[in-house]
């Protein structure tokens, strides 16, 4: 059985604490920067829940939607339909008059994985925006945030290391006899 001396254990513990600290800070920084990037842009980031756009857009993929772009034929758009967000490709666009007499832009859409086009017409005010490329930072931050176990694996060792250091510091405090003898709680020697 191998015996780990006090110096070796201290080195191993410090290595684990420093490495977990770096990983925890790194993971937290990626998530924070991804959130900051998201907050500063007019874009919406949405996690896709259906497979109607496979293989172009996979289930659980994060897409970025730009509300300022005007969709054209071939663009992928996200729109509201019956209380749900749907992301499909525009196959046709035209101007038409709605029942109130207002001229509007209208769209026919189709999911890449679907056999038939959508049975509805999408009006311009139903469209949330056009899908644009997603930043790798946002994609990674989203991927990391959807894996709380992995994120905890980065942060938990750091917290355990900090707790162990605090316990060790409190033990040193308790083992200082000068503190018990000194009524002003001032140690005579530096402990």
Q: Which CATH number fits domain 44-134: 3.40.50.10420, 3.30.500.10, 3.40.50.10190, 2.10.109.10?
A: 2.10.109.10
Contact 82, 97 (CB under 8 A): no
Average confidence score pLDDT of the chain: 77
Residue 14 CA from chain centroid, whole number = 29
Instruction: Say whether pTM exceeds 0.85.
Output: no
Domain ranges of the chain: 6-39+143-175, 44-134
Q: Measure the CA–CA gap between 170 and 165, rounded to whole angstroms.
A: 9
Angstrom distance (rounded) from CA 84 to CA 47 = 13
Provide φ and ψ at 122, rounded to 5°: -100, 130
Q: Are 138 and 31 in contact (CB under 8 A)?
A: no
pLDDT per position as a tens digit, 68-110: 888 999 999 999 888 889 999 999 999 988 788 889 999 999 9
- 45 contacts 137 by C-beta, under 8 angstroms: no
Strand partners, 108: 92
């Amino acid at each position: 059985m191998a015996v780990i001396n006090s110096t070796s254990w201290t080195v191993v513990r410090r290595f684990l604490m420093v490495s977990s600290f770096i990983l925890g800070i790194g993971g937290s920084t990626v998530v924070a920067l991804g959130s900051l990037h998201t907050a500063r842009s007019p874009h919406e980031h949405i996690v896709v829940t259906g497979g109607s756009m496979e293989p172009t857009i996979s289930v659980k993929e994060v897409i970025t939607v730009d509300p300022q772009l005007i969709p054209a034929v071939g663009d992928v758009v996200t729109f509201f339909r019956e209380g749900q967000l749907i992301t499909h490709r525009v196959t046709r666009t035209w101007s038409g008059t709605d029942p109130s007499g207002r001229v509007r832009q209208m769209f026919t859409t189709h999911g890449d994985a679907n056999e038939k086009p959508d049975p509805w017409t999408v009006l311009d005010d139903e469209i949330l925006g056009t899908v644009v490329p997603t930043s790798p930072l946002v994609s990674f931050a989203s991927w990391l945030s959807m894996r709380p176990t992995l994120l905890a694996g980065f942060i938990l060792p750091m917290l355990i290391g900090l707790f162990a250091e605090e316990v060790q510091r409190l033990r040193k405090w308790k083992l200082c006899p000068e503190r018990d003898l000194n009524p002003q709680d001032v140690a005579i020697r530096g402990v």
